[in-house]
Structure formats: C-alpha cells, structure tokens
Structure 1
C-alpha cells in the first residue's frame, strides 16, 4: 500500500441505506465491502485528496477506510469532514473524522479541534493539517447522506 486516497460524496434517496449507498457511489467506492479502521496513517505513505476514487479492484472485495458519515431525514444541512496531518519526517500520521447535522464551517472547526487534540496525545513532529469536507442541503421527505473517506490502498479479496 503506497497511497491513501481521500474521497467524498453526498446523495439523497428514499431510505437511509439508499442515500448512504448513493453517497458512496458519488465517492466511487459503492462496490466494495468497507472495513473501518481507527485513524493512524502508516509511515511513508502518500495521502492524496482526489474526490472520487479510481478503480480500486473487483467489486465485492474488501476496502480499508477511515470514514466520516452523516445521514438525516430532517431538512437542513448534513456534513462530514476528515482532517489529517502527517509527520514531517516521514513517520506516521493521524486522521480525525466528524459529522452531523451542521454546516460546513461548524464541521470543519470540529474536525480541526479533534485532530489537534489527537496530535497532543502523540510526540510526533506533525506537518500542517489538511481537511476535506462534504456538506449538502437535506430536504424534507427524503434521506440525505454526506461521506468523506480515507481509502487505504486498493481492494483485497474478502474470501
């Protein structure tokens, strides 16, 4: 694994799961079985914010991710954010995620605060933080989901 790609998407649909699936499709990762990990970036790995994932392997395979996800059935805004910072010396790094029924500025502020808190727990020389935010308007009568995911490498066979 040499690259972690940060992808994002949002969508509305008649059910919660359908809106989540459609948001994953907007991010390009709808055909994989997602396996969530906590938030540590391995040393010597590139992190690229790409928006939509390229082809990462055959459908149905396992894909390792850090995921920020928010779904609502209420009108208003729904937002997801992922912040990250890597060691300046090529060492490990850290992802932090947050989401909720709030606007872009609020979710970005919250994820930056979380990342800063996580950095204080570690004695690594962190570089400047980066943030990816997906925020969209949710309308009454439908479910809306926003996702931001850090996708670790390419897919692996699940069986």
Structure 2
C-alpha cells in the first residue's frame, strides 16, 4: 500500500461550491474526482501530513479520500478537522467540521477517535489531529477542509 497523504485548504468564493473548489485547489486536489470512503486506514498504509498534495496523477481521475469540510456564509468562523490513529495493524480516521472554532473541532475529532478505538480490538500506538480554520468575511462563502488522499489517482473510466 502506498502513502495516505493528509492535506488541508481554506478559501473563499462567491458561491458555496466555488469556495469548496478553491479550498481543494489550496490543497492541490482540485483536479480529481473525489470518492469518499469510510474511515479505516489499511494495515499496510503510512499516513503523513503533507499540507499540500504533490502531483497524484492526471486530471479527471478518481482519488479515494476521507474528507472533513465545512462551508459557511460570512461573517463567522469555519473549521474542519481530521484525526488518525494507527498501530501495527489497521487504523482509523475521524473527521469533524462546522461553523465553530478550531479547538472545538479538535475536541470532537479526539472524542471520535476515542469512541472508534473502543469499538475495535486493534492495537493503536499513534494519534494525530490536523485542523484547518479561518474567518469568513461578510458577503463571501468560505470553506475549510482537511482531506486524507489514499495513494495516487486512478482512471475513472
């Protein structure tokens, strides 16, 4: 299994979708068709925070992701967080997002990771949480996101 890269982005735009697209561009994953999966880290995967994605393949291909995102119309604050816990076997991602501050989102992610570990008889040795948070100005839409991108992109057709 290849590396799962965790990236983040924040951006504004004149519509909710344009701010989302711009936040994806800030993370450099805007040229892929994102396919969301539930939050299990495969046993042989390495997870690393890279901030901005490298080239993951040709535009238009499918990219498997776990995504935390929130969009708001300003004024206000928007935050998204993604955490992961791993060990010698499989691991977990947990995401939270909303029109709230970074610390609240971090607490929700940590609580989710704790609950997920309680459901499984796996060994967990490491944990990390990344949060993207920004102020949204009046008259703009703002998106914050943190995304785990599984490996490289793949042809969609």
CA distance in 1, matches of 2:69, 2:99: 11
Deviation at 1:119, TM superposition (A): 0.6
Q: Distance in 1 between matches of 2:126 and 2:60?
A: 36
Aligned to 2:2: 2
Aligned counterpart, 2:117: 119
Give the counterpart of 1:142 among 123, 132, 140.
140
Partner of 1:39: 39
Aligned counterparts of 1:2 and 1:153: Cα–Cα separation in 2: 5
TM-score, length-scaled by structure 2 = 0.98
Q: CA deviation at 1:125?
A: 1.1
Cα distance in 2 between the residues matched to 1:47 and 1:129 = 11
The within-5 A match list for 1:15-54 is 15-54=15-54
Structure 2: gaps of 5 or more residues: none
Aligned twin of 1:62: 62
Question: 1-side partners of 2:132 and 2:120: how far apart?
Answer: 28
Structure 1 moving runs of 4+ over 6 Å: none
Name the counterpart of 1:14. Answer: 14
CA distance in 2, matches of 1:111, 1:99: 9
Number of aligned residues:
157
Q: Matches of 2:152 and 2:44 in 1, distance apart?
A: 17
- What is the TM-score normalised by the length of structure 1? 0.97
Cα-Cα RMSD: 0.7
Give 5+ residue unaligned stretches, structure 1. none
- Select 1:153's aligned residue among 145, 151, 154: 151
